Amino acid sequence: MTIDVIVIGGGTSGMMAAVSAAESGANVLIIDKNKMLGKKLRLTGGGRCNVTNNRPPEDIISFIPGNGKFLYSTFSQFNNYNIMEFFEGQGVHLKEEDHGRMFPVANSSKAIVNGLAQRLNELGVELKMKTTVKTILTDNGQVTGVKTDTSEVIQAPCVILATGGKTFQYTGSTGDGYKLAKKLGHSVTPLFATESPLLSQDTFIQSKELQGLSLRDIGLSVLDDKDKVVVTHEMDALFTHFGISGPAALRCSMFVNQQLDKGARDVSMSLDLFPNKEEDKLKQEILNIQQTESSKSIKNALRKLIPERYLEFLLNRVKIDNQLPFKQVTETQIEQLTHELKDMRFTVYKTYPIDKSFVTGGGISLKEINPKSMESKLVSGLFFVGELLDINGYTGGYNITAAFCTGFVAGKHAAEISSYFKY
Ligand SMILES: Cc1cc2nc3c(=O)[nH]c(=O)nc-3n(C[C@H](O)[C@H](O)[C@H](O)COP(=O)(O)OP(=O)(O)OC[C@H]3O[C@@H](n4cnc5c(N)ncnc54)[C@H](O)[C@@H]3O)c2cc1C
**What's the angle, vertex CA 46, arms to CA 221 and CA 200, rounded to 5?**
35
Q: What is the pLDDT of residue 264?
A: 86
Residue 279, pLDDT score: 97
Nearest residue (by CA) to ligand 1, atom 19, is: 399
Asked if residue 4 lies in contact with residue 415, where contact means CB atoms within 8 angstroms, the answer is yes
Expressed in angstroms and rounded, the spacing between residue 139 Cα and the centre of ligand 1 is 30
Query: Residue 155 is inside which H or E element, if any?
Result: strand 153-155
Burial class from Cβ neighbours inside 10 Å (0-12, 13-18, 19+) for residue 216 reads: exposed
> Which 3 state secondary structure label does DSSP give 240?
coil
pLDDT of residue 378: 98
> Are 363 and 387 spatial neighbours (Cβ–Cβ below 8 Å)?
yes
> Beta 382-384 vs 359-361: how paired, if at all?
unpaired
CA 261, 262, 263, 265 torsion-angle sign: negative
Beta pairing, strands 382-384 & 158-161 = parallel
Fill in the amino acid letter for 270: S
What per-residue confidence (pLDDT) applies to 155? 97
What is the distance in A from the centroid of ligand 1 to the CA of 399?
A: 9
Shortest-distance atom of ligand 1 to CA 132: 42
Separation CA 347–CA 271 (nearest Å):
11
| Domain range 5-192+357-420, CATH architecture | 3-Layer(bba) Sandwich (3.50)
Cβ of 10 below 6 Å from ligand 1: yes
Kindly give the distance from the C-alpha atom of residue 416 to the centroid of ligand 1, in angstroms, as a whole number. 26
Distance 141 CA to ligand 1 centre (A): 28
Cross-strand pairs, 383: 160, 375
State in Å: Cα 132 to ligand 1 middle: 16
Q: Report how far ligand 1's centroid is from the alpha carbon of 261 (Å).
A: 25
3-class secondary structure, 346: strand
45 lines ligand 1 (CB under 6 A): yes
Our answer on whether the CB atom of 402 is closer than 6 Å to any ligand 1 atom is: no
- The atom number, within ligand 1, closest to the CA of 398 reads 11
Q: Is 387 in the pocket of ligand 1 (CB under 6 A)?
A: yes
Mutation to probe ligand 1, out of 136, 163, 195 (largest number of atoms < 8 A from CB): 163
- In this structure, which residue's CA is closest to atom 31 in ligand 1? 11
- Write down the H helix ranges in 194-347: 203-206, 247-261, 279-292, 298-302, 308-317, 331-342
Domain boundaries, the chain: 5-192+357-420, 197-351
The per-residue pLDDT string of the chain (423 residues; one tens digit each, 9 = 90 and over) reads: 699 999 999 999 999 999 999 999 999 999 999 999 999 999 999 999 999 999 999 999 999 999 999 999 999 999 999 999 999 999 999 999 999 999 999 999 999 999 999 999 999 999 999 999 999 999 999 999 999 999 999 999 999 999 999 999 999 999 999 999 999 999 999 999 999 999 999 999 999 999 999 999 999 999 999 999 999 999 999 999 999 999 999 999 999 999 999 998 999 999 999 999 999 999 999 999 999 999 999 999 999 999 999 999 999 999 999 999 999 999 999 999 999 999 999 999 999 999 999 999 999 999 999 999 999 999 999 999 999 999 999 999 999 999 999 999 999 999 999 999 976
Q: 173 CA to middle of ligand 1, Å? A: 6
34 lines ligand 1 (CB under 6 A): yes
Q: In this structure, are strands 5-8 and 28-31 parallel, antiparallel, or unpaired?
A: parallel
Which pLDDT score is estimated for 423? 67
Task: Report which ligand 1 atom has the smallest distance to the Cα of 387.
Answer: 26
Give dist(CA 229, CA 258) in Å, integer: 13
Q: Does ligand 1 come within 6 angstroms of the Cβ of 31? A: yes
- List all residues 6 or more positions away from 265 whose beta carbon is below 8 Å from its beta carbon: 349
Ligand 1 proximity of 162 Cβ (cutoff 6 Å): yes
Q: What is the model's pLDDT at position 211?
A: 98
pLDDT at 225: 94
Residue type, 331: E
Give CA angle at 336 (334, 337), nearest 5°.
65
User: What pLDDT shows up at residue 140?
Assistant: 96
Q: What angle do CA 76, 89, 24 make, to 5 degrees?
A: 55
Report the alpha-carbon angle 19-23-26, nearest 5.
95
